[in-house]
Structure 1
Amino acid sequence: MSLIVGGGMAEGRSESMRRQQARLAAELRSAGKTWVEAAEVFQTRFRLNPRVAFRSVRGWSQAQAAEEWNRRWPDEPKTFKSFSYWEIWPGKGGYSPSHDNLVRLAEIYECSVADLLADLPSFRHLDSAAGATLAVPRGTTSTVAGEIMVPSEAETLLRDLLGRRPGAEASAPSQANATGLYRLPEEVDFGELAQVIVMWMQRTPHSPARRDMLGKLAAALAAAMAAPLTELAGLAEPASAAPAQDLGRFDPATLAHCEAMMPNLRKQGDVLGASTALPSALAYRRVAEQQAKAAPNGTQRDRAVAAYAELTQLTGWLCFNMGDYGSAQRFYDDARAAAHEARAVELVTYILCTMSHLATWQGKPRVGIDHAVAAAAWAEQSGSPYARAYAADVAVRALTADGQADRSRDALDREYAALQAALTGQGPRQSWWYFYDESFFWSTSAQNALKFRGADQVLAAADKALRLSDQGNLHERSFRLLFRAEAFARQQNLGLACQTITEVVELTSVNSTRRIEQRVQELRRSLDPWKRTRAVRALDQAIRAYRSTPVG
């Protein structure tokens, strides 16, 4: 029986999640971590707010937490609904716990009241005595949309990125110096960077100065990432770096540096946009190509060719997001051939999947199905559950686009089964699967529901995808929000539709790509019958404010 968006599937997945959480909690406690320290890990690992994290780290359901409450205070009983309301708060549908209830929750969870409220906003930055800082003071936290925790260490990171140091006088964005960034690309936490970018956007909406500042930040980081490999490696590893004139010879340290930069380049594209990451990807691809040509036959050459293949695929992906589909196809073809040459079966699977995605997006779902079938065959040879799951995922999207409801739901079943094997498995995970998790499955389910099911099912799946998402992946978050916006538009809920599209426009004011722009424009055109309403006029105003410069 096909899996659908509903309770049965959710129950199976939550059961799997509970097993993961129970195992992690046991490991943390056996390592001597306090409940507070363990809950902080849960907040980061599972994207939980602190009230949920403190309950989950003990392995309690909401009903079990209520039982613990009633055992201690039988004269003031609570049900699981009380815990649900407290945990949803400050989101819609939640209720704030009273002071007395917070104290009792803290007693149950053996923490402080402040620990339970760590996701609430901090406004210390508004104090004029605090100075002109760009992030929250050290030792405090803040949130975005009630979920995103902004680490205080991000303040130092952003000051470095903008050419400032703690205690130095604030400089204009145009004075930011990229020279000091050459030591940072491998150290940058793009998740933190994405969170602080969103925080800035919420603090200063519709600000040209803010857009200019973030644009300078993107340009500075791009300059650092695109710096010559030998200079970057020389600053980090003077003893092992290859001299510039010897780039044509094989050097294991140079190849290792290329491999280490690939995850950073992918995340840079997710946070700052494809056009920002593309020059760096091209530069590293050229170096990897030189290393592949110079590498001795055998294991070293296979490794170098595989690195070249992965960087070539990444370059194609960035071209795809920029709307240059012809270049994306050429890079994908080259990447596929190189991966086959390197006998990198799992990488071949991944590249075929991205080729399927490209074809489906271009309105060629039959070609997308063809690539997905080939990907599934290689995935079986790879032995990787991530490969099997993602091959099924692109098949779902291609079959959905081709109008094949039954086959697309069968593919969703296969994807879910492979995903569970991936989440519970202990084997290695290749770095290119960093984006693929349970939230991705729900995102594809939402896309399938847009074609074959009602708006309510779309919203249920999209909301699950957003709740489980890596908040630092602004690219994926934008598409998931657009699924919600389309569902709201189908319900003729213009206010929420326009509000959600506006959120995407703001979110991507720095990192937008042609593909995101295309979807925004399509959704805006669908609202033309209501263009004179207040909601649509406000959306048009936001688009004008944030899209005054061309999108790369």
Structure 2
Amino acid sequence: MSEGRSESLRRQQACLAAELRSAGKTWVEAAEVFQTRFRLNPRVALRAVRGWSQAQAAEEWNRRWPHEPKTFKNFSYWEIWPGKSGHSPSQDNLVRLAQIYECSVADLLTDLPSFRHLDSAAGTAVAVSSGSTSGAPSGIIMPGEAETLLHDLLGRHTGTEAGAPQTADVTGLFDRPEEIDFGKLAQVIVMWMQRIPHSSARRDMLGKLTAALAVAAAAPLVELPGMADRANAASVPEVSRFDPATVAHCEAMMPHLRKQGDVLGAASTLPSALTYRRIAEQQARVAPPGLPRDRAVAVYAELTQLAGWLCFNMGDYGAAQRLYDDARAAAHEARAVELVTYVLCTMSHLATWQGKPRVGIDHAVAAASWADQSGSPYARAYAADVAVRALTADGQAARSQDFLDREYAALQAAMSDQGPHQSWWYFYDESFYWSTSAQNALKFHPAEKVLAATDKALHLRDQGNLHERSFRLLFRAEAFARQQNIGLACQTITEVVELTQVNSSRRIEQRVRELRRGLEPWRRTRGVRELDQAIRAYRSQPAD
């Protein structure tokens, strides 16, 4: 890295540290942000967040313990460890480092592996209960529990060696969809990926997980009437009688299917979504007039939109368009105004992605009109969001900023609304707004503004939506590339490549290829060479 770029990075880190501290973040919390954004290990992050060089950290040490002086080389060795050229700090030195950085010894070692999963008495719980005395917030998955769950999913009890488990029979996990938390599963995937040091072992582990869960994906279909004994779950029996319980089951499965798509990818989710769509279509056909039929048609419309969204992410834009058109017509037929808004928003997104931003603007304007009629602040906010993306793609800086302001105002109303809202808005929150702000900033503002927005987007939302997380990381990578921080750009793209072995999509693949082409002038650098190796390794199997 040149001296100019190094100075720019130090200024960027100093500004971020000041912002985090002014927001009330502890040194440990701020260092966690540094670890994610700058790809630092915890020992480096806890120093960098204070703005200290290794020499300055050594000066702080020597001020406290002049009888045991250290130099910047000592700090360098400790920070490189457990790399081959590093030296492990002694227990006494770790305690003193923790004192300097005002953290715990454990905070200095979070990048090291854990082997709790090897304990035969380890449980399979993945979340700290509300009555936990561990000091961790309720609902947060701890690393040990994460490893235990993932080993169980992959066949920890099959007698295979750790790190090379066999695919397990996990269909039982899907018998009751309400018992599956895909958000927690995604956190497990991310943490496990980060804690396995060797890419080949990590790739093998994630591949087995994907295969095991994809096989289980259609299991809930056996709960439907007439499906239990069918060898092919995608084959739906004809029905002649309306069954409210079947419609209710389809409704209950939609959030499950959406989150499954976010975590495991479109290809593993689409067969089930299409099957449920066919079931809902049959129920709509035989439903009696009035509310029962409107409800069944609305369920069909939502499942059709979901299937279109999955096709969109798989790169089948023609099928996505046809499904969206069908979903919009069905939503209108059911007089489901808020659903009409949502479908129009997704149509706008599709058009903008295909390089047709003016068509995207048309759909966004129509969505805004229906959103006003729906009375839903979520509908108004998301309609403004897709307008921002279409206007940004069309190069309209002033209008895109105007709609970004409208989105923020509607978002505040949505966040203050304590009443129930439609399940399909599960993905939309303040982090989504900041993600769109980052996309807008890539077009019209300096890279620093992009990075600030992606920081907020990534840290306001958990890691449960691997799809959204991947795109936000790619925004960050593009910003790093514009700063000519090629190493950080490549590391960030590599993280996406690894993450999306479990959940990839043609759209993510397309963005990775575009960003890699932009790095061609630096193809001989170490960072780009390592990125190319990761792409070859993790894309050896077909993507979704």
Q: With structure 2 as the length reference, what TM-score do the two structures score?
A: 0.75
Q: Name the counterpart of 1:215.
A: 207
CA contact (8 A) 1:141 1:151 kept: no
Q: Name the counterpart of 1:293.
A: 285
Distance 1:62 1:481 in 2: 20
Gaps in structure 1 of 5+ consecutive residues:
1-60, 64-79, 107-112, 237-243
- Taking only the aligned residue pairs, the percentage that are identical comes to 71
Distance 2:168 2:457 in 1: 37
**Aligned: 1:470 with 2:462:** yes
CA contact (8 A) 1:271 1:473 kept: yes
SS in 1 for 2:543: coil
**Aligned: 1:390 with 2:332:** no
CA contact (8 A) 2:127 2:142 kept: no
Relative to structure 1, the CA distance from residue 118 to residue 385 in structure 2 (aligned partners, 3 Å threshold; closer, same or farther) is farther
**Aligned: 1:85 with 2:14:** no
* 1:16-415 to 2 correspondences below 5 Å: 84-90=26-32, 91=34, 92=45, 93-94=48-49, 121=110, 125-126=114-115, 130=119, 149-150=141-142, 158=150, 161-162=153-154, 169-170=159-160, 173-205=165-197, 207-227=199-219, 229-231=221-223, 247-415=239-407
Superposition deviation, residue 221 in structure 1 = 2.6
CA contact (8 A) 2:117 2:151 kept: no
Distance 2:23 2:431 in 1: 25
Gaps in structure 2 of 5+ consecutive residues:
1-18, 35-44, 51-56, 61-93, 229-235
Relative to structure 1, the CA distance from residue 198 to residue 129 in structure 2 (aligned partners, 3 Å threshold; closer, same or farther) is closer
Distance 2:20 2:490 in 1: 34
SS in 2 for 1:466: helix
Mean alpha-carbon deviation: is it higher for 304-313 or for 169-178? Answer: 169-178
Distance 2:174 2:28 in 1: 46
Superposition deviation, residue 160 in structure 1 = 5.7
**Aligned: 1:430 with 2:419:** no
Q: 1:518 aligns with which of 510, 527, 530?
A: 510
Relative to structure 1, the CA distance from residue 192 to residue 129 in structure 2 (aligned partners, 3 Å threshold; closer, same or farther) is closer
Distance 1:122 1:133 in 2: 21
Distance 1:157 1:295 in 2: 43
Relative to structure 1, the CA distance from residue 130 to residue 545 in structure 2 (aligned partners, 3 Å threshold; closer, same or farther) is same
CA contact (8 A) 1:275 1:322 kept: yes
CA contact (8 A) 1:151 1:192 kept: no
Residues matched between the structures, number: 455
Relative to structure 1, the CA distance from residue 285 to residue 502 in structure 2 (aligned partners, 3 Å threshold; closer, same or farther) is same
Name the aligned partner's letter for residue 221 of structure 2.
L
Distance 1:228 1:253 in 2: 14
CA contact (8 A) 1:479 1:516 kept: yes
Name the aligned partner's letter for residue 548 of structure 1.
S
Which digits, 9 at most, give the CA deviation of each residue in 1:311-348, with x for residues without a partner? 00000000000000000000000000000011000000
CA RMSD of aligned residues (A): 3.7
Superposition deviation, residue 220 in structure 1 = 3.2
Q: Name the counterpart of 1:488.
A: 480
Which digits, 9 at most, give the CA deviation of each residue in 1:386-437, with x for residues without a partner? 0000000000000000011111000001000000000011222111001100
Relative to structure 1, the CA distance from residue 402 to residue 188 in structure 2 (aligned partners, 3 Å threshold; closer, same or farther) is same
SS in 2 for 1:186: helix
Distance 1:148 1:162 in 2: 22
CA contact (8 A) 2:441 2:449 kept: yes
Distance 2:254 2:357 in 1: 29
Which digits, 9 at most, give the CA deviation of each residue in 1:242-271, with x for residues without a partner? xx8674421111111111111111111111
Name the aligned partner's letter for residue 412 of structure 2.
Q
Which digits, 9 at most, give the CA deviation of each residue in 1:63-83, with x for residues without a partner? 9xxxxxxxxxxxxxxxx7996
Superposition deviation, residue 136 in structure 1 = 9.4
